């Protein structure tokens, strides 16, 4: 019987391989368990139903039912106004977020890149949600929107309701917070792209008369377009997963009228039971079937219409 080689007898390549295997073992195992296994089981769950069983005849457990859960989705859409409203809200959030994140973030990043008036102040305000705990940020924002702002404006004669509680303002206020909370990351990436542009290119454009808006339109934007198109595609992919920070602001008590589909599904899963999980899994899978081809089509279109760097 051969004895195992002691560690010190291994050559350098074998030691490097052993180190690499030990280093990667934990993340690979974690990925396999918490991503591959979990998602695979979720897909299978969409084609099952839970049977509580009856004493002496059947045992409780999941049983295959084919496409029964998918057919149930269309019935639920008609019978449950909260579900259909959440899908509509998700589309509104996508439209507003895409317009704001695809235009304002690029322009603000350019404004900060050019070191214009109060650019450092804007940098701090826009990056603030990224460096403070989301829970702390939500508490601060809630306090300002519910108490501080209405009281200050009330003293000046302009009365406004608590913005996160009032029926007419809560959706817009939550949407504003969601956009503001993610503004800093986008601007940071755009600023990084702009900072990597060769200064000689900008100087040459300035000499040729490209200044201000022309510099942005013909020099900066084409060079940061890959980042722009990436954000655009990511927003498409997240249409039905975006929670609009509702759980951060309201917990599980957000009004059905302002819920997005991502938030609606999250809350139903958190409050669900074994009988309801297959239906929720089918609902998430169906939204994936819609989002994936749409994302691929938009990605193809962004490559086709994108400006040429040359």
Residues 224-262 pLDDT 10s: 888 888 888 888 888 888 899 899 899 888 999 999 999
Q: What is the DSSP letter of 58?
A: -
- Say whether pLDDT at 179 is over 80: yes
Rounded mean pLDDT of the chain? 84
The structural domains of the chain, with segments of one domain joined by +, span 7-64, 70-305
Cβ atoms of 167 and 154 closer than 8 Å? no
Band of pLDDT at residue 8, cut at 50, 70 and 90: low
Q: Report pLDDT for 1.
A: 45
Burial class (CB in 10 A: 0-12, 13-18, 19+), 223: middle
Cβ atoms of 83 and 77 closer than 8 Å? yes
Residues 137-159 pLDDT 10s: 888 999 999 999 888 888 887 88
Coil, strand or helix at 168: coil
- Say whether pLDDT at 281 is over 70: yes
Residue 64 φ then ψ, to 5° = -70, 130
Coil, strand or helix at 18: helix
CA distances (Å), 163 to each of 75, 98, 210, in order? 35, 23, 43
SS3 sequence of 180-240: HHHHHHHHHHHHHHHHCCCHHHHHHHHHCCCCCHHHHHHHHHHHHHHHHHHHHHHHHHCCC
Band of pLDDT at residue 264, cut at 50, 70 and 90: very high
Q: What CATH number was assigned to the domain covering residues 70-305?
A: 1.10.3720.10
Q: Report pLDDT for 282.
A: 92
Cβ atoms of 89 and 259 closer than 8 Å? yes
Report the helix count and the strand count for the chain, using DSSP H and E: 15, 2
Residues 11-35 pLDDT 10s: 777 778 888 888 888 888 888 887 7
Q: Report pLDDT for 6.
A: 56
Cβ atoms of 82 and 197 closer than 8 Å? no
Q: Cα 301–306–310 angle (5° rounding)?
A: 150
């Amino acid at each position: 019987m051969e004895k195992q080689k002691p560690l010190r007898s291994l050559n350098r390549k074998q030691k490097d391989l052993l180190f690499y295997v030990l280093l990667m073992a934990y993340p690979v195992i974690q990925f396999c368990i918490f991503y591959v296994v979990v998602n695979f089981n979720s897909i299978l769950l969409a084609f099952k139903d839970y049977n509580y069983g009856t004493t002496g005849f059947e045992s409780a457990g999941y049983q295959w039912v084919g496409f029964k859960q998918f057919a149930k989705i269309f019935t639920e859409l008609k019978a449950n106004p909260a579900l259909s409203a959440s899908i509509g809200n998700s589309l509104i959030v996508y439209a507003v977020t895409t317009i704001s994140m695809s235009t304002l973030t690029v322009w603000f990043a350019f404004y900060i890149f050019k070191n214009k008036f109060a650019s450092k102040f804007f940098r701090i305000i826009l990056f603030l949600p990224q460096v403070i705990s989301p829970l702390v940020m939500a508490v601060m924002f809630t306090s300002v929107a519910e108490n501080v702002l209405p009281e200050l404006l009330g003293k000046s004669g302009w009365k406004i309701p608590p913005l996160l509680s009032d029926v007419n303002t809560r959706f817009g206020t939550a949407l504003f917070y969601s956009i503001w909370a993610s503004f800093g990351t986008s601007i940071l990436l755009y600023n990084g792209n702009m900072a990597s542009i060769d200064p000689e290119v900008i100087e040459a454009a300035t000499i040729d008369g490209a200044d201000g808006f022309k510099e942005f339109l013909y020099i900066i934007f084409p060079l940061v377009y890959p980042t722009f198109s990436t954000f655009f595609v990511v927003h498409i992919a997240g249409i039905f997963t975006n929670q609009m920070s509702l759980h951060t602001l309201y917990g599980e008590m957000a009004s059905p009228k302002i819920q997005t589909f991502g938030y609606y599904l999250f809350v139903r899963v958190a409050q669900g039971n074994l009988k309801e999980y297959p239906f929720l899994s089918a609902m998430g899978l169906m939204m994936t079937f819609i989002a994936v081809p749409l994302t691929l089509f938009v990605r193809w279109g962004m490559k086709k219409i994108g400006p040429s760097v040359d």
